[in-house]
């Protein structure tokens, strides 16, 4: 165990955690909502430091990040636990492990070992993903610092439910984030997730202000968040408050976890959301969990710039200076320089 960061000690051996927007008040001997931060005698400890429950080498597009060093590899790690309880969670076996089984699994892997593995596998970045990186902040922070020193970028795949204090702490080493905007109604967050909407919106605004490259994902679930008015409101927020250059990934839902009886999202719903995003001014809108819909087009001339299949880049028409090969318009993102028509390799 390691003493946690971002908390305050209170009377009667209680503590207040300031890591995520729940800001749990935790009595002696108890744990927070995430179930991986425990108060022992008035000191808050993280129970997941160095506890890696998953590790993989992934295409960065799988996060999904389509405008952050496209075609590169990222070394992905996760620790068990989450501060949400999404009824559709596709990684519930590890995210809900501490809550449902009172188990904190995983293998010991130090920050230095993570960075060494990322370098050995020729990754361009380290991604904190699969579960919620906020709840293993201390582990992610130490790893990210070493990764940055080694010339690697750092990525959060997150629900965005962190405090501004946490964002300020991790910002020097955080380069990109894909944030799940799970709905655009507070009542949906409260009923299905056990959280609130506004802190997520605040985190998105904060990331943009800090200069973190942000892409947004919305899993569109029938009967939960697929109302056209709600989807348009989400698109308008992204375009107006985060900027039209912010990619929006609209993903198709498939039955999972506690929502195994809900049918997959109709493709027409996703197409309608994509069109609304365009009408609101978004430049890059991707339909996820659907084969053949991961292509990037120039927002000015409309020509195909990057053609993808199974997270691999098959066709590339981005100039070495990051501009459209046809009309010279800059392509928004980080590390977007291409190789003309030649496919990019999965190398740093």
Q: Which of 273, 293, 313 is the C-terminal boundary of a domain?
A: 293
Distance from C-alpha of 155 to C-alpha of 74, rounded to nearest angstrom: 9
> Which pLDDT does position 347 carry in this prediction?
46
Q: Which of 293, 319, 335 is the C-terminal boundary of a domain?
A: 293
The region of weakest confidence among 53-57, 233-237, 238-242, 313-317 is 313-317
* pLDDT tens-digit series, residues 6-39: 999 999 999 999 999 999 999 999 999 999 999 9
Are 248 and 234 part of one and the same domain? yes
Range of the domain at 339: 295-348
In order, the DSSP letters of 139-187 are HHHHHHHHHHHTT-EEEEEE---B-HHHHHHHGGG--EEEEE---S-HH
Are 65 and 176 part of one and the same domain? yes
Relative orientation angle of helices 267-279 and 228-237, to the nearest 10 degrees: 40
How many domains are contained in the chain?
3
Are 99 and 216 part of one and the same domain? yes
Q: What is the mean pLDDT of residues 87-104?
A: 95
Q: Which of 271, 293, 315 is the C-terminal boundary of a domain?
A: 293
CA angle 313, 268, 88 (to 5 degrees): 80
What is the model's pTM? 0.96
Are 284 and 330 part of one and the same domain? no
Longest pairwise C-alpha distance within the chain: 67
């Amino acid at each position: 165990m390691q003493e946690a960061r971002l908390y305050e000690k209170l009377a009667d051996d209680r503590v207040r955690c300031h890591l995520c927007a729940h800001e749990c008040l935790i009595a002696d001997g108890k744990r927070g909502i995430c179930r991986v931060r425990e108060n022992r005698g008035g000191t808050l400890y993280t129970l997941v430091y160095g506890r890696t429950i998953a590790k993989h080498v992934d295409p960065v597009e799988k996060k999904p990040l389509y405008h952050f060093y496209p075609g590169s590899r990222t070394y992905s790690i996760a620790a068990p636990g989450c501060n949400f309880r999404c009824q559709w969670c596709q990684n519930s076996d590890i995210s809900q492990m501490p809550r449902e089984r009172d188990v904190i699994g995983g293998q010991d892997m130090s920050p230095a070992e993570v960075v060494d593995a990322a370098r050995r596998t020729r990754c361009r970045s380290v991604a904190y993903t699969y579960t919620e990186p906020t709840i293993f902040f201390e582990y992610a922070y130490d790893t990210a610092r070493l990764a940055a020193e080694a010339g690697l970028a750092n990525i959060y795949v997150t629900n965005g439910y962190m405090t501004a204090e946490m964002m300020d702490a991790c910002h020097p080493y955080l380069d990109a984030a894909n944030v799940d905007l799970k709905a655009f109604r507070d009542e949906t967050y409260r009923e299905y997730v056990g959280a609130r909407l506004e802190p997520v919106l605040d985190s998105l605004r904060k990331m943009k202000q800090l200069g973190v490259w942000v892409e947004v994902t919305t899993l569109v679930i029938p009967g939960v968040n697929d109302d056209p008015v709600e989807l348009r409101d989400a698109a308008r927020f992204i375009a107006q408050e985060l900027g039209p250059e912010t990619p929006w990934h609209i993903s198709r839902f498939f039955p999972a976890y506690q929502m195994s009886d809900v049918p997959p999202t109709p493709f027409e719903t996703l197409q309608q959301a994509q069109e609304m995003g365009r009408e609101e001014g978004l430049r890059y809108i991707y339909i996820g969990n659907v084969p053949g819909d991961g292509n990037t087009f120039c927002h000015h001339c409309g020509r195909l710039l990057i053609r993808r299949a199974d997270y691999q880049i098959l066709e590339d028409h981005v100039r070495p200076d990051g501009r459209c090969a046809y009309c010279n318009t800059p392509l928004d993102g980080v590390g977007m320089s291409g190789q003309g028509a030649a496919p990019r390799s999965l190398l740093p």
